[in-house]
A and B are shown apart, each in its own frame.
Chain A
Amino acid sequence: MWRQWIPFWQPGLSPHSGDVDLLFAGLLIASALVLALLFFLVALFCARYRAGNPADRSHRVKKSWHWEVSWTSASFVCFLGLFVWGASVYFQIYRTPADEHDIFVVAKQWMWKTQHPGGQSEIDALHIPVGRPVRLVMASQDVIHSFFIPALRLKHDVVPGRYQALEIEVDKPGHYHLFCAEYCGTDHSRMIGEIVAMEPADFSRWLTEQAPSSPLASEGGQLFRELGCSGCHGGRGAIRAPPLDGLYGKPVPLSDGSTVIADDRYIRDSILMPRSQVVASYEPLMPSFEGKVSEEQLLRLVAYIKSLAGHSS
Chain B
Amino acid sequence: MSETNYLTTDYTLRSWFLTTDHKRIAILYFASLIFFFFIGGAAATAMRIELATPQADLVSSDAYNRLFTMHGIIMVWFFLIPSIPNTLGNFIVPLMIGARDLAFPRLNLMSWYIFMLGGSTTLFAIFAGGIDTGWTFYTPFSTLYSNSYVIVAAAGVFIAGFSSILTGLNFIVTIHRLRAPGLTWYRLPLFLWSLYATSVILVLATPVLAITLLLMATERFFGVGIFDPRIGGDPLLFQHLFWFYSHPAVYIMILPGMGVINELVSCFSRKQVFGYKFVAWCSLAIAAVGFLVWGHHMFVSGQSLVASLVFSFMSFIVAVPSAIKVFNWTATLHKGSIHFDAPMLYALAFIGLFTIGGLTGLFLACLAFDVHATDTYFVVAHFHYIMVGGMVTAYFGGLHYWWPKITGRLYSEYWARTAAVLIFFGFNLTFFPQFILGAEGMPRRYHVYPPEFQVWNVLSSGGAAILAVAYLMPLFYLGYSAFFGKRAPANPWDAPGLEWQTSSPPPEFNFTTQPLVTRAPYQYNEAFEAKPQNA
User: A76 to chain B: closest CB distance in Å?
Assistant: 6
User: A89 to chain B: closest CB distance in Å?
Assistant: 3
> Are A82 and B375 in contact, CB atoms less than 8 angstroms apart?
no
Q: Tell me whether A71 and B351 are in contact in the complex, defined as CB-CB below 8 angstroms, given that A9-B439, A153-B371 are known contacts.
A: no
Asked if B465 is an interface residue, CB under 8 A from chain A, the answer is: no
List the B side residues contacting A206 at CB < 8 Å: none
> Are A189 and B445 in contact, CB atoms less than 8 angstroms apart?
yes
In the complex, the chain B residue whose C-beta lies closest to that of A158 is B302
In the complex, the chain B residue whose C-beta lies closest to that of A22 is B368
List the A side residues contacting B234 at CB < 8 Å: 161
Asked if B374 is an interface residue, CB under 8 A from chain A, the answer is: yes
User: A277 to chain B: closest CB distance in Å?
Assistant: 15
Q: Which stretch from A35-43, A113-121, A303-311 is at the chain B interface?
A: A35-43
> Are B529 and A8 in contact, CB atoms less than 8 angstroms apart?
no
List the B side residues contacting A42 at CB < 8 Å: 330, 333, 348, 351-352
> Are A185 and B146 in contact, CB atoms less than 8 angstroms apart?
yes
Q: Which stretch from B181-189, B241-249, B252-260, B321-329 is at the chain A interface?
A: B321-329
CA distance A69 to B236 in the complex (A): 39
CA distance A162 to B62 in the complex (A): 28
CA distance A182 to B134 in the complex (A): 11
In the complex, the chain A residue whose C-beta lies closest to that of B341 is A51
CA distance A295 to B133 in the complex (A): 24
In the complex, the chain A residue whose C-beta lies closest to that of B133 is A183
Choose among A57, A90, A109, A187 the residue with the greatest number of B CB atoms under 10 Å from its CB.
A90
From residue 318 to 342 of chain B, which have CB atoms closer than 8 A to chain A? 319-320, 323-324, 326-328, 330-331, 333-340
Asked if A2 is an interface residue, CB under 8 A from chain B, the answer is: no
In the complex, the chain B residue whose C-beta lies closest to that of A180 is B443
Q: Tell me whether A45 and B319 are in contact in the complex, defined as CB-CB below 8 angstroms, given that A23-B368, A68-B278, A146-B375 are known contacts.
A: no
List the B side residues contacting A186 at CB < 8 Å: 61-62, 65, 132
CA distance A91 to B371 in the complex (A): 11
Asked if B372 is an interface residue, CB under 8 A from chain A, the answer is: yes
In the complex, the chain A residue whose C-beta lies closest to that of B69 is A183
> Are A83 and B366 in contact, CB atoms less than 8 angstroms apart?
yes
Q: Which stretch from B287-295, B305-313, B393-401 is at the chain A interface?
A: B305-313
Q: How large is the interface on A (under 10, 10 to 19, 20 to 34, 35 or more residues)?
A: 35 or more
Asked if A79 is an interface residue, CB under 8 A from chain B, the answer is: yes
In the complex, the chain A residue whose C-beta lies closest to that of B441 is A150
> Are B61 and A45 in contact, CB atoms less than 8 angstroms apart?
no
Convert A256-294 into 0s and 1s, putting 1 for each residue whose CB lies closer than 8 angstroms to a CB of B. Answer: 000000000000000000000000000000000011000
> Are B330 and A146 in contact, CB atoms less than 8 angstroms apart?
no
Asked if B301 is an interface residue, CB under 8 A from chain A, the answer is: yes
> Are B335 and A49 in contact, CB atoms less than 8 angstroms apart?
yes
Asked if B38 is an interface residue, CB under 8 A from chain A, the answer is: no
List the B side residues contacting A79 at CB < 8 Å: 316-317, 319-320, 362
Residues of B in contact (CB 8 Å), total 84
> Are A93 and B371 in contact, CB atoms less than 8 angstroms apart?
yes
In the complex, the chain B residue whose C-beta lies closest to that of A79 is B316
> Are B324 and A45 in contact, CB atoms less than 8 angstroms apart?
no
Contact of B337 among A51, A56, A153, A187 (CB under 8 A): A51
> Are B334 and A45 in contact, CB atoms less than 8 angstroms apart?
yes
> Are A94 and B305 in contact, CB atoms less than 8 angstroms apart?
yes
CA distance A73 to B78 in the complex (A): 38
> Are A35 and B334 in contact, CB atoms less than 8 angstroms apart?
no
List the A side residues contacting B340 at CB < 8 Å: 46, 50
> Are B366 and A86 in contact, CB atoms less than 8 angstroms apart?
yes
Convert A1-18 into 0s and 1s, putting 1 for each residue whose CB lies closer than 8 angstroms to a CB of B. Answer: 000000111100000000
> Are B300 and A156 in contact, CB atoms less than 8 angstroms apart?
yes
Q: Tell me whether A27 and B362 are in contact in the complex, defined as CB-CB below 8 angstroms, given that A61-B334, A189-B445 are known contacts.
A: yes
Contact of B448 among A7, A10, A91, A190 (CB under 8 A): A190
Contact of B65 among A80, A92, A161, A188 (CB under 8 A): A188
From residue 44 to 76 of chain B, which have CB atoms closer than 8 A to chain A? 61-62, 65
CA distance A81 to B450 in the complex (A): 36
Contact of B141 among A49, A144, A177 (CB under 8 A): A144
CA distance A45 to B336 in the complex (A): 8
> Are B362 and A90 in contact, CB atoms less than 8 angstroms apart?
no
CA distance A7 to B439 in the complex (A): 10
Asked if B7 is an interface residue, CB under 8 A from chain A, the answer is: no
Asked if B476 is an interface residue, CB under 8 A from chain A, the answer is: no
Contact of B300 among A61, A146, A150, A179 (CB under 8 A): A146
User: A52 to chain B: closest CB distance in Å?
Assistant: 8
Contact of B368 among A50, A61, A93, A142 (CB under 8 A): A93
> Are B229 and A161 in contact, CB atoms less than 8 angstroms apart?
yes
> Are B450 and A142 in contact, CB atoms less than 8 angstroms apart?
no
Asked if A72 is an interface residue, CB under 8 A from chain B, the answer is: yes
From residue 342 to 400 of chain B, which have CB atoms closer than 8 A to chain A? 348, 351-352, 355-356, 359-360, 362-363, 365-372, 374-376
User: A64 to chain B: closest CB distance in Å?
Assistant: 9
Contact of B443 among A60, A68, A80, A181 (CB under 8 A): A181
Contact of A179 among B140, B145, B441 (CB under 8 A): B441
Contact of B324 among A41, A71, A157, A187 (CB under 8 A): A71
User: A27 to chain B: closest CB distance in Å?
Assistant: 5
> Are A91 and B65 in contact, CB atoms less than 8 angstroms apart?
no
> Are B367 and A87 in contact, CB atoms less than 8 angstroms apart?
yes
> Are B440 and A159 in contact, CB atoms less than 8 angstroms apart?
no
Choose among A35, A46, A51 the residue with the greatest number of B CB atoms under 10 Å from its CB.
A51
Q: Tell me whether A142 and B145 are in contact in the complex, defined as CB-CB below 8 angstroms, given that A177-B450, A181-B376 are known contacts.
A: yes
In the complex, the chain B residue whose C-beta lies closest to that of A145 is B141
Asked if B274 is an interface residue, CB under 8 A from chain A, the answer is: yes
Q: Tell me whether A148 and B229 are in contact in the complex, defined as CB-CB below 8 angstroms, given that A49-B336, A82-B316, A185-B146 are known contacts.
A: no
User: B329 to chain A: closest CB distance in Å?
Assistant: 9
> Are A57 and B348 in contact, CB atoms less than 8 angstroms apart?
no
Asked if A249 is an interface residue, CB under 8 A from chain B, the answer is: no
CA distance A180 to B371 in the complex (A): 14
CA distance A79 to B340 in the complex (A): 34
Q: Tell me whether A144 and B138 are in contact in the complex, defined as CB-CB below 8 angstroms, given that A27-B363, A45-B338, A177-B441 are known contacts.
A: yes
User: B319 to chain A: closest CB distance in Å?
Assistant: 6
> Are A38 and B443 in contact, CB atoms less than 8 angstroms apart?
no
Convert B431-460 into 0s and 1s, putting 1 for each residue whose CB lies closer than 8 angstroms to a CB of A. Answer: 000001001110111111110000000000
List the B side residues contacting A159 at CB < 8 Å: 229, 235-236, 301-302
Beyond A45-B336, A87-B312, A179-B441, 14 additional pairs, beta carbon < 8 A: A20-B368, A27-B369, A35-B356, A41-B333, A42-B348, A79-B319, A148-B443, A150-B372, A151-B441, A155-B372, A156-B302, A182-B138, A182-B375, A185-B145
Q: What 4 A-B pairs come out closest when comparing CB atoms?
A: A161-B229, A150-B441, A86-B366, A89-B368
Report 13 cross-chain contacts, Cβ distance below 8 Å, ordered by A residue. Answer: A8-B436, A38-B326, A46-B333, A46-B338, A46-B340, A49-B334, A67-B331, A71-B327, A79-B316, A87-B368, A90-B371, A91-B305, A184-B141
Q: Which A residues have a C-beta under 8 Å from some C-beta of B? A: 7-10, 19-20, 23-24, 27, 31, 34-35, 38-39, 41-42, 45-46, 49-52, 55-57, 60-61, 63, 67-68, 71-72, 75-76, 79-80, 82-83, 85-94, 109, 142-144, 146, 148, 150-151, 153-157, 159-162, 164, 177, 179-190, 192, 290-291
